[in-house]
Amino acid sequence: MRKILALITAGLIVLLSTGGGAYATPQVVAPQSIAPQVNAPQPVAPQAADLDWTTTFSPRGLSFDVNAVAVSGNSIYVGGGFIVAGNVEAHYIARYDLNTQTWSPLGAGAPDAVTAMLVDGNDIYVGGEGFLSRWNTISNTWTSLSYVNGFVNALAKSGNDLYVGGVIDWIAGQTMTNTARLNLTTEVWSTLGSGVNGAVHALTISGTVLYAGGGFTQAGGSAASSVAQWNINTNTWSALSTGPYTGTTYALAMNGAELIAGGYYTNNDGTSVYRWNGSAWQAMGTATYSTIHALNANSQGLYAAGFDTKILRWNSGGGNWVQIGAELTGPQYPTIQSLAYANDHLYVGGTFTAAGSTTAMRAADLNLTNNTWSALFGGLGGNGLDGDVNTIVISGTDTYVGGEFTRAGPIAANYIARWNGSSWSALGAGVDFHVLTLALQGKTLYVGGRFTSAGGNTAHYIAQWDTSGQTWSPINSGGKEGVTGWVSALAITGTKMYVGGYFDRVGWPDGPATDYFAVLNTNAITWTTVNPGLKNYVDAIAVHGTDVYVGGGFYPNGGSNFDGLARWDTVGVGNQWSGVSGASANVYALAVSGDDLYVGGTFYPQRIRRLDIASNTWVTTTGGVYGGVYGGIVYAIAAHADGDIYVGGDFTGAGGRTAYGLARYNPSCDFWLPVGTQGLNDRVLALALTSDQLLAGGRFSLAYGAGSNVPSARLASLPHQSMTCHRGYLPTILK
């Protein structure tokens, strides 16, 4: 019996390696059942191709926010919410080598987002929600110092004692009130008296005094407004007068003998930085920022930064703040969270994506000798985008992408850009807000979205880019331009462009009424409106022969005649709408493959369905996609000429297999496979195919590959090769 089991097990290993894991789970049966079992046809995909993600589209910096920066020798350490640093995978903490200009991870990284960091010799202390850990640069190992019930926001060290501040209830079984102390020799935790009664955001030490800043009003049971001091010798709290001002202190620094406090204070003159001279608080300038998040005092001066992403240096002679270097920018409310200094360079971390004209995603280097910025970037790649990709269209060697980004690789590109296979270029001045859809006809690229200007000129929600003349034009018809609401779907056939979205008129602001859908004659530039029927927005359009299918958020209870999916007959009497029953949910994606229509959205349970166009009936398929934040949503579908269907969205599985955000369906085999090993680490919003290449766009930063994952900032590419079906013989496993 043991020999039979060994032979069966060996056979199973061979089959699984040949099929790339695309076989059903072996069935456990009684010992007498030893005959091999014949399975349904299953796909065999060339694994080397499916796992060959390109390294082109990594970020120029970090994939998400940086909360802390520290310098030690030639190393810059950054901590935050990212999982990618440059072209390497690095979970929540990473090291940048100034000599080689490359990023590297610190082992497996931190257990969660890093919100506080302290470098002390060969040890790096990091904390965040629920944890406090130490990395040793000699042994290259992590040590957990304790579970923290709360958030660690600040760290400071004096002798063998590590001080911890944050929003903390208890550590190591002891009640802590937002502050704590760890003796690193004995590994014993202790309280700092009765602590403080609000969040601690900053700690700094001068001699035998620990200063704490935060959102508290008491320290040690006595009044202390946003700043307090702990005497390390006497183990007692005391206030510093009445505090800088009512509000919250986010940053502390020692500037010589003076304590500097920055934050958000409820004064009337806009002062956000104060200094304590030993007996009283003094305002430092007025109208500095709405909020200060970071302070740094060094041999070059005192620096402050915060919400509006300017680096300020204190001009002691003039008693005011002076901006240093160009401003940092980003797509949405960028901030500076941390400052660190070494050798005439100021290293900056935050939520920004550009430093002046330089793409620098969440980390940057300001040379204080000439006030110029550079990115912390090196190695291959660096051509990722700094915001979501919503739509992709390919023409020859050119790929156009639109979305919610403002930078593509090293260049500024306002919500739309062109990739020529090796570098990015902007489309003039771009548009002034998000791009949702693209369609190409000859030399004209049509662009729809949430914008109201293109190339600096008025263009309500739809515009055209001349790829030859490199110019923008609005869609003008009948003396009016654009439409009255977002354009979220475009499809072109012949001289007709079908336009769908959130608009109810063609021509801003009071053109002819239409029903969230209209037809543009691209030769004459004239609109054809449609009769009522949808009553709500359109998110997807697909064309098959003379029929136009639209999907969206329309449903009977909302006044519509149809339920998520409808068909427009372009040659019927009066161009009539007709329903397609059975969608019964929001439809976000449509794609035609042969005589089948693939429909993706939120409908339960599969999230994607297949419609036989000739009979107008749904085809039963095995499995679908599921999981994710909302139980699975399909946002994008792309059909290859060989029949394979790629599906993108917000999901974690497809057809019983792990597949994050991206999956592949073979209709001949009626079978699902992940793309790569397991897909991508966040939602996929756009897909485009050539004969041998797949492009995916969305919100992700990592593509799961074999052996090592590939950093991919919002855009990812891998080869396509056809799957083939065969009938596999899977042996039965004995108990």
| Topology of the domain covering 389-674 | Methylamine Dehydrogenase; Chain H (2.130.10)
Angle at the Cα of 259 (from 255 to 263), degrees rounded to 5? 105
| Per-residue pLDDT at 433 | 98
| Confidence (pLDDT) at 43 | 60
* Angstrom distance (rounded) from CA 546 to CA 613: 12
Which amino acid appears at position 480 of this protein? K
Q: What is the mean pLDDT of the chain?
A: 90
SS3 annotation, 553-617: CCCHHHCCCCCCEEEEECCCCCCCEEECCCCCCCEEEEEEECCEEEEEECCCCCCEEEEECCCCE
Tell me the C-alpha distance between 332 and 346, whole Å.
23
**Residues 3, 10 contacting (CB under 8 angstroms):** no
The per-residue pLDDT for 20 is 27
Is the Cβ–Cβ distance between 510 and 563 less than 8 Å? no
**Judging by DSSP bridges, how do beta strands 462-466 and 480-481 pair with one another?**
unpaired
Pairwise pLDDT comparison (329 vs 557), residue with the higher score: 329
Can you give the pLDDT at residue 580? 86
The pLDDT of residue 347: 98
Give the per-residue pLDDT at 2: 32
pLDDT digits over 87-112, tens only? Answer: 999 999 999 999 999 999 999 999 99
Specify whether the CB–CB gap between 138 and 122 falls below 8 A.
yes
The dihedral over CA atoms of 292, 296, 297, 299, expressed in degrees to the nearest 10, equals: -140
Q: What is the pLDDT of residues 333-353, one digit of tens each?
A: 899 999 999 999 999 999 999
Share of the chain above pLDDT 90, in %: 79
Confidence check: pLDDT of 396 > 70: yes
C-alpha span between 323 and 371 (Å, rounded): 10
- Using the predicted structure, report yes or no on whether residue 680 has a pLDDT greater than 90: yes
Strands of the sheet containing 547-552, edge to edge, are 538-544, 547-552, 565-569, 577-579
**pLDDT higher at 269 or 21:** 269
The Cα–Cα gap between 676 and 705 comes to 6
Count helices and strands (H / E) in the chain: 2, 77
Give pLDDT, residue 664.
96
User: What pLDDT digit, counting tens, does each position of 491-518 carry?
Assistant: 999 999 999 999 999 999 999 999 999 9
Is 375 within 8 Å of 365 (Cβ atoms)?
yes
Which of 383-397, 602-616, 707-721 has the highest average model confidence (pLDDT)? Answer: 383-397
Beta-bridge partners for 231:
209, 236
Q: Which of 655, 645, 728, 658 is nearest to 687 (CA)?
A: 645
Any idea where the domains of the chain sit in the sequence?
2-54+730-734, 389-674
Q: How confident is the model at residue 125 (pLDDT cuts 50, 70, 90)?
A: very high
| Local confidence band at 46 (pLDDT 50, 70, 90 cut-offs) | very low
pLDDT score recorded for residue 515: 92
10 Å Cβ neighbour count for 101? 14
Q: What's the rounded Cα separation, in Å, for the pair 447 and 486? A: 11
Residue 379: its pLDDT value, please? 76
Two tokens at 46? 């060339």
> CA–CA separation, 663 vs 656, rounded Å?
11
What was the pLDDT predicted at 575? 63
260 within 8 A of 302, measured Cβ to Cβ: yes
Q: What is the dihedral of CA 650, 702, 708, 10, to 10 degrees?
A: 10
pLDDT at 218 over 90: yes
Indicate if the pLDDT at residue 13 is higher than 50: no
Starting at the edge strand found earlier in the chain, the sheet holding 435-441 runs 435-441, 444-449, 462-466, 471-474
Q: How confident is the model at residue 685 (pLDDT cuts 50, 70, 90)?
A: very high
Residue of higher predicted confidence among 732 and 437: 437
Query: Collapsing DSSP states into helix, strand and coil, what is residue 97?
Result: strand
Tell me the per-residue pLDDT of 160-210, one tens digit each, with 9 for 90 and over. 999 999 999 999 999 999 999 999 999 999 999 999 999 999 999 999 999
Work out whether strand 161-171 and strand 174-175 pair parallel, antiparallel, or are unpaired.
antiparallel
How far apart, in whole angstroms, are the C-alpha atoms of residue 696 and residue 703?
10
Quote the DSSP letter at residue 81. S
* 380 or 177, higher pLDDT: 177
**Is it the case that residue 731 has pLDDT exceeding 50?**
no
State residue 21's pLDDT score.
28
Q: Which helix (H) or strand (E) holds 619?
A: strand 617-619
Q: Is the pLDDT of residue 265 over 70?
A: yes
Give the SS3 label for residue 121.
coil
- Cβ neighbourhood burial of 256 (10 Å; 0-12, 13-18, 19+): exposed
Per-residue DSSP letters for 659-703? -BSEEEEETTTTEEEESTTTEESS-EEEEEE-SSEEEEEES--EE
Assess contact for 383 and 408: CB atoms under 8 A.
Answer: yes
Q: 3-state SS string over 447-488? A: EEECCCEECCEECCCEEEEECCCCEEEECEECCEECECCCEE
The pLDDT confidence band at residue 572, using thresholds 50, 70 and 90, is low
Q: ω into residue 509 within 30 of 0, thus cis?
A: yes
- pLDDT tens track for 227-263: 999 999 999 999 999 888 889 999 999 999 999 999 9
* Spatial separation of the C-alpha atoms in residues 244 and 591, rounded to whole Å: 61
For 632-645, what is the mean pLDDT?
96
Query: Taking a C-beta distance cutoff of 8 angstroms, is the pair 147, 171 a contact?
Result: yes
CA angle 140, 141, 143 (to 5 degrees): 150
Are the beta carbons of 345 and 325 closer than 8 angstroms? Answer: no
**Tell me, what's the pLDDT at 49?**
41
DSSP state of 620: P
Three-class secondary structure of residue 512 per DSSP: coil
Q: Residue 652: is its pLDDT beyond 90?
A: yes
pLDDT at residue number 338:
98
